[in-house]
Amino acid sequence: HGTSKINDKGHLEIGGCDTVELAREFGTPLYVFDEALIRQQIQKYHEAFQKSGLKYQVAYASKAFSTVAMYKLANQEKMSLEVVSEGELHTAVKADFPRERIHFHGNNKTVSEINYGLDENIGCFVVDNYCELELLNKLAADKGKTAKILMRITPGVEAHTHEYIQTGQADSKFGFDLNNGQARTGVEKVQELNNIELLGFHAHIGSQIFDVKGFQMAADKMVNWFAQVKKDFGMPLQVLNLGGGFGIRYHKEDTPLPVGDYIAALSETIQAESKKLGLDAPEIWVEPGRSIVGEAGTTLYTIGTYKDIPGIRRYIAVDGGMTDNLRPAMYKAKYEAMVANKANETKLETVSVAGKCCESGDMLIWDVDLPAVNPGDILAVSSTGAYGYSMANNYNRIPRAAVVFVQNGQADLVVERESLNDIIKNDRIPERFL
């Protein structure tokens, strides 16, 4: 998959780099990103949209994996950027990301975050609620600016990996509800505000979705709403942002479709509905995160101790865990793994992979088939590129792992490993303790 293969030594190789060497050079745990695979995923979005003929933007959803290097890459590949905090915005500024292609999300943007966005003249704010509309209008007025916005709508479609549900009233902290009049009242409010310009609407129905149906239902509702607002309010709207959520393969049970299928289904719905409504199709924005970086990431760990529970299971422990990958503990997420230095071995046994944190729930994988391992072997867990590093934490005062990008046999450090001194750098000692 991607540029991954097994080399002559029987080691896992990614981007032309031997992962056993990478572990030695950079230490473990180590996030390894297959740069070519990230670029390839982005190109699939471009190709699918170009085929549709729609005007579009593909915004990278930062929350999946935010670093300066990733933003540089996203810009090289002509993506826009979705940020949800001033930390992500600051990362984008440091990456010199073109401000007009930055979209700022969040259900509780602070005054300082809004001001940062206004000062940087970002492309748009995705406004979540009435309070924010008024605050943004005031802060923009204070600066003598007009803020471009999308309004985030809760369309009453909620999708989960395998099923979708249509709710009359979406019980969500996000957005203006379409079905109870909130969205309409929001547009009325926008009309009264002098320092706000409404570009269009946004909806995001969920994440790690495999089926196209939920996307089509949301697209259908959103284009109808878009047409209605244009007609009733005479506003020159241009944009419909249909969010992210396109699923990936973590585990053999996962059945995502190719990216192009999701975009084709969305585009066809938009075009067909627009035609029916006598509307020029709006410009379509999407904001994928997971499907851009998820499968491109692999985490390398060094295997340490093991423990046998006779007749039940063998635990093998690695030098990371819920500090570098919170997803198994938080969502019971399933992953696959291999032993990077024993990639050709065919005699396998079923074991469970434990993290090193002081918490029974810190299990990375329950039941995975691996060759017999020894301390010092390198475990490679695949599909860890999204929501791994970005959700990393310092529980048990474990330093955050390093990140490398690999391509054409070259490995470049893009995030340095935290040091023990980084761990205590914000600690202060009250004078009376000295």
Query: Which is nearer to ligand LLP, 124 or 343 (by Cβ)?
Result: 124
Q: Is 25 annotated as a binding residue?
A: no
230 binds ligand LLP (CB under 6 A): no
Q: Which CB atom, from 130 or from 331, has the smaller least distance to ligand LLP? A: 331
Asked whether position 259 contacts ligand LLP by CB under 6 A, the answer is no
287 near ligand LLP, rule: CB under 6 A: yes
For residue 238, give the 3-state DSSP assignment. coil
287: exposed, middle or buried (Cβ count in 10 Å: 0-12, 13-18, 19+)? buried
When asked if residue 61 is in the footprint of ligand LLP (CB under 6 A), the reply is yes
Residue 331 labelled as part of a binding site: yes
Q: Which of 4, 207, 323, 341 binds ligand LLP (CB under 6 A)?
A: 207
Handedness of CA 400, 361, 210, 274 (dihedral sign): negative
358 part of the active site: yes
Give the contact letters, 67-86, x = binds to ligand LLP (CB under 6 A), - = no.
---------------x----
Dist CA 71 CA 88 (whole Å): 10
Q: Where are the beta strands (DSSP E) in 210-312?
A: 239-241, 283-286, 297-309
* Dist CA 16 CA 24 (whole Å): 16
Which element (helix H / strand E) includes 230? helix 213-233
On whether the CB atoms of residues 340 and 32 are closer than 8 A, the answer is no
CA distance 278 to 283: 15
CA dist 40 and 272 (Å) reads 29
**214 annotated to bind ligand:** no
Q: Find the part of the chain contacting ligand LLP (CB under 6 A) among 43-51, 287-295, 376-384, 420-428.
A: 287-295
* CA pair distance 134, 26, nearest whole angstrom: 49
β-pair partners for 153: 176
45 annotated binding-site participant = no
Tell which one of 101, 103, 105, 342 touches ligand LLP (CB under 6 A).
105
- Size, binding site for ligand LLP by CB under 6 A: 21
Stretch that binds ligand LLP, among 2-10, 138-146, 282-290, 359-367 (CB under 6 A): 282-290
* Window of 30-38, 57-65, 249-257, 416-424 that interacts with ligand LLP by CB under 6 A: 57-65
Q: Identify the three-state secondary structure at position 235.
A: coil
| One of 243, 328, 355, 385 touching ligand LLP (CB under 6 A) | 243
CA–CA distance, 14 with 409 (Å, rounded to integer): 8
Which residue bears the tokens 């088939």?
369
- Applying CB under 6 A, among 186, 200, 288, 385 the residue interacting with ligand LLP is 288
Identified binder of ligand LLP from the candidate list 103, 327, 342, 400, rule CB under 6 A: 327
Residues within the interface to ligand LLP (CB under 6 A):
61, 63-64, 82, 105, 204, 207-208, 243-246, 287-291, 327, 331, 386-387
Active site residues: 358
